[in-house]
């Protein structure tokens, strides 16, 4: 009985956090696209784009969002 409870609890937590990762991914990709669309980027924007693209390659969406928020 207790084992089943833990399995259900862990499965629920995994399913509850999946949409958050999807949102971070979509927001990260949108942010990268916006930075790429800038016609005359500043040095700071170039650095931010480079860092965000690095996090995209690593599929670290929360870190990508942190970079874009700076």
| pLDDT tens string 12-63 | 555 555 454 558 889 999 999 999 999 999 999 999 999 999 999 998 899 9
Domains of the chain, residue spans: 20-69
For residue 24, the model assigns a pLDDT of 85
Is pTM beyond 0.75? Reply is no
Could you tell me the end-to-end alpha-carbon distance of the chain, in angstroms, rounded to an integer?
47
User: Residue 56's closest CA among 42, 44, 70, 66?
Assistant: 66
pLDDT at residue 7 in the model: 61
E strand residue ranges, the chain: none
């Amino acid at each position: 009985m207790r084992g089943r409870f833990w399995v259900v609890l862990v499965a629920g937590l995994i399913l509850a956090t999946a949409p958050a990762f999807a949102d971070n991914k979509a927001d990260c990709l949108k942010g990268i696209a916006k930075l790429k669309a800038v016609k005359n980027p500043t040095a700071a924007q170039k650095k931010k784009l480079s860092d965000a693209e690095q996090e995209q390659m690593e599929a670290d969406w929360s870190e990508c969002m942190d970079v874009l928020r700076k």
